[in-house]
Amino acid sequence: LQRRLGMAMILISHDLELVAAHCDRVAVLYAGRLVEEAPAADLFRAPLHPYTRGLLDSVPRRGRPLRPIPGTVPDLRRPPAGCRFAPRCPLARPECREEDPPLLQVGDTRAVACPVVLEGGGSGA
């Protein structure tokens, strides 16, 4: 329908299999903030943001134990200072808890809100 009518469509879902099958581009939000945006194939093949990695790792797969993201989702009425994922992030540095990172371009087609990844502090960058 989208291609036939030449229109854009926004799909909001937690079903990553559905997203992978039907979306050209993906925007990942955590606690109301955009943390990564990329072509779907790139994002599913090589996620950059630690939350995106954790989200994809937590998808149930036959023969593999579940790998949930440790910690709890923040209370959005009183979100933490800095990056909202920092309290749960395996790559977090002290500055992550102080400043909300901007969404930064990665090449021509991707953007990520994690300076640690952009500096090479996490695998996948």
pLDDT in tens, 62-75: 898 888 999 999 99
Cα angle: 26, vertex 14, 30; to 5 degrees: 70
Q: Is the per-residue pLDDT at 101 higher than 90?
A: yes
Cα angle: 72, vertex 78, 84; to 5 degrees: 55
pLDDT for position 4: 84
pLDDT for position 125: 43
d(CA 82, CA 41) in angstroms, rounded, equals 29
| Residue carrying the six token digits 């979306």 | 23
Average pLDDT over residues 3-10: 84
In this predicted model, what pLDDT tens digit does every residue of 21-77 receive, in sequence order? Answer: 989 999 999 999 999 999 999 999 999 999 999 999 998 888 988 889 999 999 999
* CA distance from start to end of the chain: 35
d(CA 78, CA 91) in angstroms, rounded, equals 23
d(CA 60, CA 67) in angstroms, rounded, equals 8
Counting Cβ atoms within 10 Å, is residue 28 exposed (0-12), middle (13-18) or buried (19+)? Answer: buried
pTM metric for this prediction: 0.89
pLDDT for position 1: 67
pLDDT for position 122: 63
